Homo-oligomer: A and B are copies of this chain.
């Protein structure tokens, strides 16, 4: 399987409102810098999801502005500086709030379309 990549137009729309959840969920498992977050999203989703830089970095800035994450520059020995992001407590709550909303939306979608996710064999 792993099949054809998801229709990029559909994916871009599906992503709407879900980007913050994804980034926060990655950071819930530990601090990371922007580029690494992008790689991790691709890895976990088996490249079904691949955040463009023009998508990822603005989200990080917005989440930081909202206080959901905070950052500091890290200067590794003999490597380029990178901005490392850490989820805050407020960010944890925000993640929970958004996950709840997402699950409720999904439940509604399933009822309306009368589809069960477990009908499909993955």
Task: Name the residue on B nearest A101 (C-beta).
Answer: B10
B102 x A120 contact (CB < 8 A): no
Which chain B residues lie closer than 8 Å to A111 at the CB level?
A: 44-46
DSSP majority for the A interface? Answer: helix
Q: How far is the CA of A62 from the CA of B69 in the complex (A)?
A: 40
Copy number of this protein in the oligomer?
A: 2
> Is the CB of A54 closer than 8 A to any CB of chain B?
no
**In A1-51, which residues have CB < 8 Å from any B CB?**
6-7, 10-14, 16-18, 21-22, 25-26, 29, 41, 44-46, 48-49
Contact call B114/A117, Cβ cutoff below 8 A:
no
A82 at the B interface (CB under 8 A): no
**Within the complex, what minimum Cβ distance (angstroms) separates A49 from chain B?**
5
A53 within 8 A of B: no
Chain B residue nearest in CB terms to A19 = B13
A13 touching B10 in the complex, CB below 8 Å, given contacts A22-B113, A115-B99: no
